[in-house]
Amino acid sequence: MFLQIWAQKGWEGGPWAGASWYFGDLNTSYNLGTPGASAGILARYNFNERLCMKFSVGVGKVEADDARSKNVFERARNLSFESSIVDFTTQFEFNFLPYIHGSRENYFTPYIFLGLTGFHFNPKARLGDEIYELRPLGTEGQFKGEEYYNIHGGLAFGMGMKLDLSYEWSLNFELGVRQLFTDYLDDVSTVYPDKSDLLKTRGEIAVALSDRSISIPGANDGPIGEEGRQRGNSSNNDAYAIANIALVYYFGDLRCPDYGKRKRKN
């Protein structure tokens, strides 16, 4: 058993592809109807048949639109965004079952993981026929040079399944959540700014994209974008999830040295 656990040590890696979803101020109901494509590569080091450490790099897209919400206030707010994401994640994995590449008995296992994520994002929104980057516009009244960072971090956690196809090749199915340390993935967090100040410092486009509220009969008498009124909820940071399938190649070697044989003397 000791030699078997030791022999499972080794590196594996390969590509993955899947879908990504955003959760936050513009998707408070956890609607899964607008997935974005995502893809990347991974490298994993197996310490033994139970514990692993994985590194992954990926790109994806997330988006949301208040017009799809069932909440009346959110539909009246009428904001939307889209963003590409570059994701760097390091995670520790625990296999529920002993997992040994090439084994006829231990060829699959469910697993859980916990780790840290660093990511780059750039929220944008469409106005007419043009798409504008939102961060440089200071849509919540941020001063120039004091906008939120577009590189941030988060906590990664989730679960998956590993399944051997052969000694070298395996499939991984994984669902992971990134609970972020920022509430600005969607460019929405606090309150509506003073429009006159925003017009002077950022221009007409910034004002138009800061307040896109509309009147909804029976819900509100007019646009809700008054200075100081709630635009987002800064007490809850944003998140995104990635579901993917990976094709993984194992570079390690399960063969153990045969200690029962002695070297022949010349």
pLDDT in tens, 173-215: 999 999 999 999 999 999 999 999 999 999 999 999 999 998 8
pLDDT for residue 218 is more than 70: no
Residue 226 in domain: yes
Determine, yes or no, domain membership for 178: yes
Domain count along the chain: 1
The stretches of 106-263 forming alpha helices (DSSP H) are: 195-202, 204-210
Q: Does any domain span residue 162?
A: yes
Asked whether residue 3 is assigned to any structural domain, the reply reads no
Helix residue ranges, H only, 58-110: 72-77
End-to-end CA distance of the chain: 34
Q: Look at residue 261 and tell me if it is in a domain.
A: no
**Mean pLDDT of the 17-26 span:** 98
Structural tokens at position 184: 């600005």
Q: Work out the angle at residue 97's Cα, subtended by the Cα atoms of residues 95 and 102, and round it to the nearest 5 degrees.
A: 95
Q: What CATH number corresponds to the domain at position 117?
A: 2.40.160.20
Compute the distance between CA of residue 235 and CA of residue 185 in angstroms, rounded to an integer. 14
Tell me if 117 is assigned to some domain.
Answer: yes
State the amino acid at position 4 in one-letter form.
Answer: Q
Position 6, amino acid: W
Q: Which domain holds residue 108?
A: 9-250
- Contact between 187 and 135 (Cβ < 8 Å): yes
In a domain, 255, yes or no: no
What is the reported pLDDT for 3? 45
Q: Return the structure tokens found at 232.
A: 């987002």
The pTM is what?
Answer: 0.89
Q: Which residues contact 100 (CB under 8 A, 6 or more apart)?
A: 4, 8, 49, 106, 107, 254
In a domain, 209, yes or no: yes
Residue 219 pLDDT grade (very low, low, confident, very high; cuts 50, 70, 90):
low
111-131 pLDDT, tens per residue?
999 999 999 999 999 999 999
**Contact status, residue 40 vs residue 59, Cβ threshold 8 Å:** yes
